[in-house]
Amino acid sequence: MSNSKLTRRGLIKTGAVAGAAGLALPTYLRADGHAGFLNAPAGSTVTLGFNVPQSGPYADEGADELRAYELAVEHLNGEGDGGMMNTFTSKALKGNGILGKKVEYVTGDTQTKSDAARASAKSMIEKDGAIMITGGSSSGVAVAVQALCQEAGVIFMAGLTHSNDTTGKDRRANGFRHFFNSYMSGAALAPVLANAYGTDRKAYHLTADYNWGYTTEEAVKTSTEAMGWETVNAVKTPLTQTDFSSYIAPVLQSGADTLVLNHYGGNMVNSLTNAVQFGLRDKQVNGKDFQIIVPLYSRLMAKGAGANVKGIFGSTNWHWSLQDEGSKAFVKSFGTKYGFPPSQAAHTCYVQALLYADAVERAGSFNPCAVVEALEGFEFDGMGNGKTLYRADDHQCFKDVLVVKGKENPSSEFDLLEVVEVTPVEQVTYAPDHPQFAGGSLGTCNPGA
């Protein structure tokens, strides 16, 4: 796909020769700044790799991510109305591609399987000459692809990944996450829950039996227990489970009055539907109305659960109904192009693409190490989440978190969630070595050549 006249091997050789010449400056400050790293764009175009689930259970989410990337590419190349480029506080992007090179892209199918995602990312890096990989809708995939990009020497801009580990124990110097994480969900939700349901609650957790489930359970448990809640039980459910009745039926017997569903995607749709079927929400336990909580909401997924989401609290990274200028601009250009509002997955992917392009412009180079430097500690606004910091210590974005609730009277099929609170960033910020994130190290950036 790359239009470069040089081959990748040729470039690597050039880089190796230059390196052998013993230049004192870091490679990315040398000469034109366009050589000495993997897949340096040589022609008039630059190729980005969009690695999203195009098949498998998250295909609809992947399709929305791809729409967002296509929109971002349009805006970067100066087509369309520019979207968030008009509201983004950094003004480095000029609508003439990235560093004057027209943006082209290739896509890969992660299938939401770590090995397939690595294979498609590898192919885009090696065959298509992608300078940056972005996308994905699962933490397992994000962690796997991030490690691959680190080894290969390209930048990874994570898509939808919510596990603490992506910027915790599995963080990498070449990887960046704009999406929020389990800890932030817990920290944002707990006070709202205490406010709505009181501080004397007995919670029963059902947790998807994989990485993301564990970190979410831990985060919600820790923050709700700090508010005075008691955790009665936490049961792991297989990721492949479709009927949760045998896990939900014993909840009432346990004496719990709150059910926390640490489930995402199809798991969430099914477990929530089952819980509502069992009539849990009509019950009274310990003299209180029984409540259900879904820590991570996705509007696309909430749609699958239909009316069952009404009144249920959760958190989300972004929602199209936000009224800041950035969100309005993005919803307008996405909605005009596709006819429906974007999902949170689309939002985070669009923003990541713009943030990467902006970092390259500010660095004046596509060299991954220059991009890392430009993104670390970068503060910006106008991208829909208020003031945001890309923290240098772990490459995690820190911004306000939305606590949402299933809407009682939706006005359309997109109008499923209402924002009940915007939790300020201070309340969800943690130390880089917080126990839930401990054990990881960024290492050093890898330019690949």
Partner 1 sequence: MDAIILQILNGLDKGSAYALIALGLTLIFGTLGVVNFAHGALFMIGAFCAVTLSRILTFSHTVIDETKKDFLGNPLKVEVPYIYDIFGQATGDVIIDWAVPISILFAIPVMVAIGFAMERGLIKHFYKRPHADQILVTFGLAIVLQEIIKYFYGANPIPTPAPAAFTGSFDFGAMLGFDPNTIIYPYWRLVYFAFAAVIIGAVFAFLQFTTFGMVVRAGMADRETVGLLGINIDKRFTIMFGIAAAVAGLAGVMYTPINSPNYHMGMDFLVLSFVVVVVGGMGSLSGAVLAGFLLGVLESFASMAVVLETLPGINQIIIYLVAIIILLTRPRGLMGRKGVMED
Residue numbers at the binding site for partner 1 (CB under 8 A): 55-60, 233, 235-238, 240, 242-243, 245-247, 249-250, 252-254, 266, 269-270, 273-274, 277-279, 282-283, 285, 300-301, 303-308, 320-321, 331-332, 335-336, 341, 411-412, 414-415
Euclidean distance between CA atoms 427 and 214, whole angstroms: 22
Structure tokens given for 135: 């996308």
What does the DSSP assignment read for 145-163? Answer: HHHHHHHHT-EEEE-S---
Closest CB to partner 1 among residues 57, 95 = 57
Closest CB to partner 1 among residues 55, 199 = 55
- How near is the Cβ of 228 to partner 1 at its closest, in Å? 23
- How near is the Cβ of 330 to partner 1 at its closest, in Å? 12
Torsion of CA 150, 153, 155, 158, to 10 degrees: -30
Say if residues 160 and 345 touch (Cβ distance below 8 Å). yes
The kind and range of the H/E element at 133 are strand 132-135
- In three-state form (DSSP H/G/I as H, E/B as E, the rest C), the secondary structure along 387-400 is CEEECCCCCEEECC
- How near is the Cβ of 274 to partner 1 at its closest, in Å? 7
- How near is the Cβ of 45 to partner 1 at its closest, in Å? 32
Give the closest residue to 107 by CA, choosing from 91, 126, 90, 121.
121
Structure tokens given for 5: 């006249």
- How near is the Cβ of 377 to partner 1 at its closest, in Å? 35
Closest CB to partner 1 among residues 148, 300 = 300
Closest CB to partner 1 among residues 174, 333 = 333
Say if residues 112 and 58 touch (Cβ distance below 8 Å). yes
Closest CB to partner 1 among residues 23, 249 = 249
Give the type of residue at 393. D
- How near is the Cβ of 104 to partner 1 at its closest, in Å? 27
Euclidean distance between CA atoms 310 and 396, whole angstroms: 31
- How near is the Cβ of 252 to partner 1 at its closest, in Å? 5
Give the three-state DSSP class for 64.
Answer: helix
- How near is the Cβ of 298 to partner 1 at its closest, in Å? 10
CA distances from 71 to 79, 104, 159 (A): 9, 12, 15
Q: How many CB atoms lie within 10 A of CB 278?
A: 17
Say if residues 390 and 176 touch (Cβ distance below 8 Å). yes
Euclidean distance between CA atoms 28 and 52, whole angstroms: 29
Say if residues 371 and 360 touch (Cβ distance below 8 Å). yes
Euclidean distance between CA atoms 60 and 66, whole angstroms: 10
The DSSP output letter for 289 is E
- How near is the Cβ of 60 to partner 1 at its closest, in Å? 5
Q: Classify the phi-psi angles of 99: left when phi > 0, otherwise alpha if psi is within -120 to 50, otherwise beta.
A: left
Euclidean distance between CA atoms 271 and 264, whole angstroms: 10
- How near is the Cβ of 371 to partner 1 at its closest, in Å? 33
Closest CB to partner 1 among residues 227, 232 = 232
Closest CB to partner 1 among residues 274, 423 = 274
Closest CB to partner 1 among residues 282, 408 = 282
- How near is the Cβ of 221 to partner 1 at its closest, in Å? 16
Say if residues 156 and 146 touch (Cβ distance below 8 Å). yes
Closest CB to partner 1 among residues 8, 205 = 205
The angle that helices 211-226 and 139-152 make with each other, rounded to 10 degrees, is: 120
Closest CB to partner 1 among residues 137, 223 = 137
Closest CB to partner 1 among residues 414, 430 = 414
Closest CB to partner 1 among residues 6, 239 = 239
Say if residues 164 and 437 touch (Cβ distance below 8 Å). yes
- How near is the Cβ of 362 to partner 1 at its closest, in Å? 32
